[in-house]
């Protein structure tokens, strides 16, 4: 997670803007036009949310975080959420 954050931070400093999510862009452009693409993008988002939950669970087991509602945090930080992580 930290590497992802640092990458986005460097891009923002270098370009003066953040990059959009390629899956989110694809979903926004194609989801109303092509149901199979919408379903595939939805599965990608679900997999990303699952990997985030696994990462949070590992961090909790390692003692890096505590008292975190892992499923809720993973949902809130997933690509489909508009909340900031």
Tens-digit pLDDT profile for residues 3-19: 877 887 888 889 888 77
Tens-digit pLDDT profile for residues 54-65: 999 999 999 999
Tens-digit pLDDT profile for residues 15-52: 888 777 777 777 778 778 888 888 888 888 889 899 99
pLDDT at 85: 56
Residue 62 in domain:
yes
Residue 18 · residue 10 · CB < 8 Å: no
Residue 78 in domain:
yes
Residue 43 in domain:
yes
Residue 9 in domain:
no
Tens-digit pLDDT profile for residues 65-83: 999 999 999 988 876 665 5
Tell me how many domains the chain contains: 1
CA nearest to 41, candidates 71, 5, 78, 77:
78
CA angle 79, 61, 46 (to 5 degrees): 20
Domain of residue 53, residue span: 27-85
Residue 14 in domain:
no
Residue 11 in domain:
no
């Amino acid at each position: 997670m930290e590497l992802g954050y640092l990458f986005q931070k460097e891009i923002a400093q270098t370009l003066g803007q953040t990059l959009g999510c390629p899956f989110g862009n694809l979903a926004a452009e194609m989801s109303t036009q092509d149901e199979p693409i919408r379903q595939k993008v939805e599965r990608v988002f679900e997999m990303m949310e699952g990997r985030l939950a696994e990462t949070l669970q590992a961090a909790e087991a390692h003692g890096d975080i505590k008292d975190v509602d892992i499923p809720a945090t993973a949902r809130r930080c997933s690509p489909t959420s508009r909340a900031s992580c």
